[in-house]
């Protein structure tokens, strides 16, 4: 049987079962196949993603930490996942779903969304529900990283988000890093690159991750081929992390280094002009990078977990953090 016709058949069977709540026996009689065949078709429909089943879980949040971060850093909104009793897989899933639900409400018809690479942004994109049909444009806001994990790359995430939201994707046909500052200027003037960066700079929402100087996971280090020794040298001069490929200090200043002028992506000033910059990062190892990012004045909305949030407030010298014992995973302390 022709594949598109068979997929339509799978969709019909799935609709009868999941929407019309018909039994497999009733479907078998209606379609003219055996009940065993119906069972197999429902399994095929799930495996081929003709039908997707989403379980909406209410994830616990730490409202006190959220309020403390909003107050200390002047953020518009913060979402903090409570991690007590959750394993690592659940924490990843919880961050993704909390972030996705908020992103879905931020995106309106005809919105433009700028997207950067990262493990955290990947989790959010995967949790965005299909079929919202917002007629959006998703612009890749940072060049790609050769030889990195393909599913985490900006181009892949932009395509997946556009597919889920029912919009179009604008690719940035460029590496994250050019070979030299001169090559950066040449690439930025290329029509396709200039068009996508212009669209990203005028976006309504930007979805970004926050990188730290972890040699095992920092995509910028992969793109630049930095050694652990070079990363240590960078840290010794004040670097704590990056947002959209732009390295910053704990004080929130742009860290001057030879990589900065080679990045093909948005500038900090361009990010600041975007209506809503939504940053996602979690884990206490990211705390110092989160502090530096929030001090740049770029981020409007943050999604994180209680471990990162508590440590970030401690690093930032929050009065709330000062009242809590060192090593506490969350700031649930008496006032």
| Comma-separated ranges of CATH 3.40.50.1360 domains in the chain | 63-322
Model confidence pLDDT, tens digit, residues 97-126: 999 999 999 998 889 999 998 889 999 999
CA angle 12, 13, 19 (to 5 degrees): 80
- Residue 294 CA, distance from chain mean position: 16
Q: Which residue has the tokens 């309504």?
A: 204
Contact 59, 97 (CB under 8 A): yes
Model confidence pLDDT, tens digit, residues 127-157: 998 877 678 999 999 998 866 666 778 899 9
CATH 3.40.50.1360 fits 63-322, yes or no: yes
Evaluate if residue 332 carries a pLDDT over 60: no
Evaluate if residue 335 carries a pLDDT over 50: no
Topology annotation, domain 3-47:
Arc Repressor Mutant, subunit A (1.10.10)
Evaluate if residue 319 carries a pLDDT over 80: no
Using a pLDDT cut of 70, give the percent of the chain over it: 90
Evaluate if residue 39 carries a pLDDT over 80: yes
- Residue 287 CA, distance from chain mean position: 17
Cross-strand bridge partners of residue 61: 81
- Other beta carbons less than 10 A from residue 119's beta carbon: 18
| Comma-separated ranges of CATH 1.10.10 domains in the chain | 3-47
The pLDDT of residue 321 is 52
pTM of the model: 0.78
The pLDDT of residue 222 is 72
Tokens found for residue 160: 């997946």
Evaluate if residue 164 carries a pLDDT over 70: yes
At residue 285, the 3 state secondary structure works out as helix
Tokens found for residue 115: 């997207």
Residues 242 and 210: their CA atoms lie apart, in Å, by 6
């Amino acid at each position: 049987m022709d594949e598109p016709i068979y997929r339509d058949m799978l969709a019909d069977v799935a609709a009868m079962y999941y929407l019309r709540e018909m039994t497999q026996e009733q479907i078998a009689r209606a379609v003219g196949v055996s009940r065993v065949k119906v069972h197999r078709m429902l399994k095929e429909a799930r495996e081929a993603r003709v039908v997707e089943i989403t379980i909406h879980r209410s994830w616990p949040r730490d409202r006190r930490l959220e309020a403390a971060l909003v107050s200390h850093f002047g953020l518009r909104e913060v979402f903090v996942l409570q991690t007590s009793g959750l394993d690592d897989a659940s924490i990843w899933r919880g961050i993704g779903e909390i972030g996705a639900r908020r992103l879905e409400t931020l995106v309106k018809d005809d919105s433009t969304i700028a997207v950067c690479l990262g493990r955290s942004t990947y989790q959010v994109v995967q949790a965005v529900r299909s079929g919202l049909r917002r007629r959006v444009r998703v612009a890749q806001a940072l060049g790609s990283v050769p030889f990195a994990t393909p599913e985490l790359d900006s181009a892949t995430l932009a395509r997946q988000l556009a597919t889920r939201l029912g919009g179009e994707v604008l690719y940035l046909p460029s590496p994250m890093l050019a070979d030299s500052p001169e090559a950066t200027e040449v690439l930025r003037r290329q029509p396709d690159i200039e068009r996508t960066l212009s669209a990203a700079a005028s976006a309504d929402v930007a979805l970004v991750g926050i990188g730290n100087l972890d040699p095992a996971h920092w995509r910028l280090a992969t793109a630049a081929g930095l050694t652990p020794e070079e990363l240590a040298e960078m840290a010794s001069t004040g670097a704590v992390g990056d947002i959209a490929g732009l390295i910053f200090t704990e004080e929130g200043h742009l860290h001057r280094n030879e990589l900065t002028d080679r990045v093909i992506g948005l500038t900090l000033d361009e990010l600041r002009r975007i209506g809503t910059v939504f940053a996602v990062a979690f884990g206490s190892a990211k705390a110092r990078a989160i502090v530096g990012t929030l001090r740049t004045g770029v981020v409007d909305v943050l999604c994180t977990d209680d471990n990162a949030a508590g440590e970030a407030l401690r690093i930032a010298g929050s009065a709330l953090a000062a009242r809590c014992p060192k090593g506490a995973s969350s700031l649930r302390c008496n006032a």
